[in-house]
Amino acid sequence: MDLTRTEVAVGKRGAAARLGLIAVPVAFFAVFFAYPVAAIVARGLKADGAWHLGRIGEVLAQSDVRHVLWFTTWQALVSTALTLLIALPGAYVFARFDFRGKQVLRAVVTVPFVLPTVVVGTAFLALVGRGGLLDELWGVRLDTTVWAILLAHVFFNYAVVVRTVGGLWAQLDPRQEEAARMLGASPLRAWRQVTLPALAPAVAAAALMVFLFTFTSFGVVQILGGPTFSTLEVEIYRQTSEIFDLSTAAVLTLIQFVAVGAVLALHAWTVRRRETALRLVDAAGTARRPRGAGQWALLGGVLVTVVVLLLLPLAVLVQRSLDAPGFGYYRALTSDDGGVFLVPPIEAIGNSLSYAVAATAIAVVIGGLAAVALTRRDAGRFVRGFDALLMLPLGVSAVTVGFGFLIALDEPPLDLRSSWILVPLAQALVGVPFVVRTMLPVLRAVDVRLREAASVLGASPWRVWREVDLPMVRRALLIAAGFAFAVSLGEFGATVFIARPDSPTLPVAVARLLGRPGDLNYGQAMALSTILMVVCAVALLVLERLRTDRTGEF
Amino acid sequence: MLLSLRGATVRFGGRAVLDAVDLEVAEHEIVCVLGPSGSGKSTLLRAVAGLQALDSGRVSLDGRDQAGVPAHQRGVGLMFQDHQLFPQRDVGGNVAFGLRMRGAPKRQQAERVQELLDLVGLPGAARRAVAELSGGEQQRVALARALAPSPRLLMLDEPLGQLDRSLRERLVVELKELFGRLGTTVLAVTHDQGEAFALADRVVVMRDGRIAQSGTPLQVWQRPADAFVARFLGFENVVEATVGAEAADTPWGKVPVPEGAPQGTRTLLVRPAGVRLVPAGTGLRCTVTARTFKGTHVAVHLQPEDAPRLEAACALRAAPEVGGEVGVEFDAAEIAVLD
């Protein structure tokens, strides 16, 4: 009898420890996500102490709102289709071909994904906008058409498809296809019957991710969309900061919330399917040198795509920033002249860096605790539900987070409006999902028996974590921190709501400069964007060196 | 008794993986638990190590009940099936791990590491990375790591399972010598009878979470407890028989039994050496269906008319051709009545 009781006690102690671990992230999300979202709901649907669900119908009945909804959806669909079309050959090339400079190219391809939306918008403006490269050469301007937005979206999400699909593709055993060939299938048939079904869930997951990112696109559309094109996200911002119709903004946020929730649920489902059914091999052994004209042409095509689509806009951005003699635009950043800000624009660099450091620290602590608590595969339904919940801020859009902070955290007991911590908190909220997604697979991959081996050799549970888990996740922790850093650095949608006018971040400063007329402002925007791009690219390249497994989602 | 299990039971979802097991291991004894996969032998080790909680029963070490004592305080060593060396530490770091956990001073750690690496035949390997070791070397490092803190009981889970055959046969002799020299108390589990018989002072055969037989290797080999143990040891010629005073009625006809064998309905084991081939026309008529070379002899598979197959062991030169007809006679000395 004694024995049974002791064991129950041990089990309870473990559960209590897990609950303790997860309590901090849960509290964080309750206060800084659930509470603001609830505030948005109340703001949108509650008036004079009563609920008015009819508001949803009223807002949806407005023709301009329906137009925004329609545009948001179809541009996301087209962007996703275009991205798949252009990036899938890239995924194949990275998975199956071995060629010189592959590592470098892989890093180059990933850079756009961590670039701030504002930088991407600016870069495409420099390429296809008024006075842009194409305008100068052939008089072609795309910034008045939807193409600028679509191309920028492809630029952004190319890496998502290459990483998720290519990562899996590289780990599929080529001998499976060979087995099908030996059983009489033609190469195409073998691919269709063996590889495609294995790949389909990854393609679906990547497509859903791209759809999500483009559906909630803010910075790119804000800069490239002009007055013509507006996504839900941009419309929410416009309603809040220009028209001051908070109630309509709240209803729009709710609509977006529901749409994003549905896409995320679908995504979680496809990811689960991807995890279960496949037998994977080491990616290092599946690639070989291209053979024959067709394969070399494919490789060449992918290289040209990367150069034209990914490198050219960034090159033009840098070139434009240097257009004034003697680094004129850069030097202009240091002087307080235009009256755009209360401080010289260059101070935005310091602001951005210190905000990003604080946000990274918060995201790593919160995300790290959540990942440790989620590590156990036998975690209960509550814990697994939390896993999905953690992804919400990623998709629920930065504007929702910023808007929520704005209306929820401005009165006691949580009056943070005037506190500098508000910006890092919002950025951390967006960064946590990246931390969890990076840490969780690594933590789950630690062999349970390795922990047991340490335990039998006399290590207490805390010692086991320090001696076995920590050395293995140290690298993942650094990568997670790097991602959180890059994300906070480029965060625009939430920050633009809550950053104080006298302490703008880099993306906010760029957007504000672009909103002003004149060559000097334009040039300064290009210069600031270039600085931001360099910082993010350096951060990413450092990460690439740290990264060993390439199976992660990001 | 150093280790004693009383009624140890572990259930996974209603199924008893360990079913009221009683087992004792004396100091300096080497006990090998032998059984097919899924018989519960690994669970047995995990229960002793404290990695698996018992549903009922008790585990005692040195007479002290271990209920509520967590794995890291039990002071037993466990060598895992696939070694589980810590990949981010070098060989020395792995071997010193247990000493470090016990707070041994650095100098003592270094001395002990050197001593153990010498002992397992890897002198000077302390600075090598774990990843560059061969399977056999990994096995030696895992052994050194488990021995370093001088555990009162050393447990081995399929210690040689993943190594190739010739290495296995060499290492099992080395292990036996080493444990004898150190006076280590060992509880090992394996599915390989050769390994168990070579290593153990006492063999425990497990089946479906229960102990089917326990005895010295010779006892178990000569008199398997029942048909399951006999078949698990690789004997094919096992049948139900009605045993009389001098002979038994079997599907193969009258078979002589040793003097003093228990009588009645019994399980009869005929070792291959007890199946003597004679010219066709005498004895039981059989067709030769297959021959397999076993190095020192040939196993000849025979199909009698209307009776179960028989396996005979015969000298390399005397083996009959496949498809040929032979006669079979039985040798009482190589026949055992089980149960």
pLDDT in tens, A161-205: 887 788 778 777 777 777 777 776 777 777 777 788 778 877 887
Name the pairing type of β-strands B298-304 and B310-314: antiparallel
Q: Quick check: helix, strand or coil at residue A52?
A: coil
Name the pairing type of β-strands B238-243 and B298-304: unpaired
CB of A482 within 8 A of CB of A539? Answer: yes
How many Å apart are CA B160 and CA A222, to the nearest integer? Answer: 65
> How far, in whole angstroms, is CA A171 from its chain's centroid?
24
Residue A48, pLDDT score: 72
Among A455, A3, A464, A9, CA closest to B49 = A455
* CB within 8 Å of chain B, chain A residues 468-487: 468, 471-472
Tens of pLDDT, residue by residue over A116-156, are 888 888 888 888 777 777 777 777 777 777 888 888 889 88
Tens of pLDDT, residue by residue over B1-18, are 899 999 999 998 888 899
B188 inside 8 A of chain A by CB:
no
Which residues of chain B make contact with A463, given a CB cutoff of 8 A? 72, 101
Q: Which two tokens stand for residue A247?
A: 């109630």
A551 pLDDT band, cuts 50/70/90, is very low
Residue A224, pLDDT score: 81
The answer to whether the Cβ–Cβ distance between B67 and A459 falls below 8 Å is no
Q: Which two tokens stand for residue B80?
A: 């895992």
> What global pTM score does this model have?
0.70
* pLDDT surpasses 60 at A16: yes
Q: Closest CB to B67: pick one of A6, A454, A467.
A: A6
The answer to whether the Cβ–Cβ distance between A471 and B88 falls below 8 Å is yes
Higher-scoring residue by pLDDT: A155, A418: A155
How many Å apart are CA A435 and CA A476, to the nearest integer? Answer: 9
Residues B190-202 have a mean pLDDT of 90
Tens of pLDDT, residue by residue over B35-57, are 988 888 989 999 999 888 899 99
**Residue A90's CB: how many other CB atoms inside 10 A?**
23
Higher-scoring residue by pLDDT: A344, B22: B22
A2 inside 8 A of chain B by CB:
yes
The answer to whether the Cβ–Cβ distance between B78 and A453 falls below 8 Å is yes
Q: Quick check: helix, strand or coil at residue A185?
A: coil
Tens of pLDDT, residue by residue over A30-77, are 888 888 888 887 877 777 777 777 777 777 778 788 888 888 889 999
Name the pairing type of β-strands B153-157 and B186-190: parallel
Scored b (16 or more CB within 10 A) or e, B304-335 reads beeeeebbbbbeeeebbeeeeebebebeeebb
Which residues of chain B make contact with A453, given a CB cutoff of 8 A? 78, 80, 84, 86
- What phi and psi, each to the nearest 5 degrees, are found at residue B153? -135, 130
Residue B92, pLDDT score: 92
Amino acid, single-letter form, for residue A154:
V
Q: What is the C-alpha end-to-end distance of chain A, expressed in Å?
A: 51
Distance from CA of A463 to the nearest CA of B (A): 8
Among A32, A114, A33, A116, CA closest to A508 = A116
Q: Which H or E element spans position A411? A: strand A410-411
Residue A249, pLDDT score: 80
Q: Quick check: helix, strand or coil at residue A29?
A: helix
The answer to whether the Cβ–Cβ distance between B86 and A468 falls below 8 Å is yes
Which residues of chain B make contact with A448, given a CB cutoff of 8 A? none
Distance from CA of A5 to the nearest CA of B (A): 9
* pLDDT surpasses 80 at B134: yes
Average pLDDT score over chain A: 77
- What phi and psi, each to the nearest 5 degrees, are found at residue A13? -60, -45
**Residue A462's CB: how many other CB atoms inside 10 A?**
8
In the beta sheet, which residues pair with residue B313?
Answer: B299
Residues in Cβ contact with A364 at an 8 Å cutoff, skipping those fewer than 6 apart:
A435, A477, A480, A481, A484
The answer to whether the Cβ–Cβ distance between A455 and B84 falls below 8 Å is no
Residue A554, pLDDT score: 43
* pLDDT surpasses 70 at A376: no
CB of A376 within 8 A of CB of A384? Answer: no
SS (H, E, C) chain B: CCEEEEEEEEEECCEEEEEEEEEEECCCCEEEEECCCCCCHHHHHHHHHCCCCCCEEEEEECCEECCCCCHHHCCEEEECCCCCCCCCCEHHHHHHHHHHHCCCCHHHHHHHHHHHHHHCCCCCCCCCEHHHCCHHHHHHHHHHHHHCCCCCEEEEECCCCCCCHHHHHHHHHHHHHHHHHHCCCEEEEECCHHHHHHHCCEEEEEECCEEEEEECHHHHHHCCCCHHHHHHCCCCCEEEEEECCCEEEECCEEEECCCCCCCEEEEEEECHHHEEEECCCCCEEEEEEEEEECCCCEEEEEEECCCCCEEEEECCCCCCCCCCEEEEEECHHHEEEEC
Give one word for A446, left, alpha or beta, with left for phi > 0 and alpha for psi -120 to 50: beta
Which residues of chain B make contact with A460, given a CB cutoff of 8 A? 70, 72
Q: What percent of chain B has pLDDT over 70?
A: 100
- For A449, which residue in chain B has the nearest alpha carbon? B84
Residue B188, pLDDT score: 93
The answer to whether the Cβ–Cβ distance between A457 and B72 falls below 8 Å is yes
Scored b (16 or more CB within 10 A) or e, B226-250 reads bbbbbebbebbbbbebebeeebbeb
Tens of pLDDT, residue by residue over A436-486, are 877 877 777 777 888 889 998 988 888 888 888 888 788 778 878 888 888
CA atoms within 13 A on the CB side of A531: 24
Residue A6, pLDDT score: 37
The answer to whether the Cβ–Cβ distance between B88 and A7 falls below 8 Å is no
Tens of pLDDT, residue by residue over A197-224, are 778 877 887 888 888 888 888 888 888 8
Which residue is it, tokens 């004694």?
A2
Chosen from A2, A12, A455, A457 to mutate, greatest number of chain B CBs within 10 A: A457
In angstroms, the Cα distances linking A155 to A144, A229, A491, B332 are 18, 19, 18, 85
Which residue is it, tokens 């979206």?
A153
In terms of C-beta density within 10 A (0-12 exposed, 13-18 middle, 19 or more buried), how is residue A243 classed? exposed
Q: Closest CB to A459: pick one of B80, B84, B101.
A: B101
Tens of pLDDT, residue by residue over B282-305, are 888 999 999 988 888 899 999 998
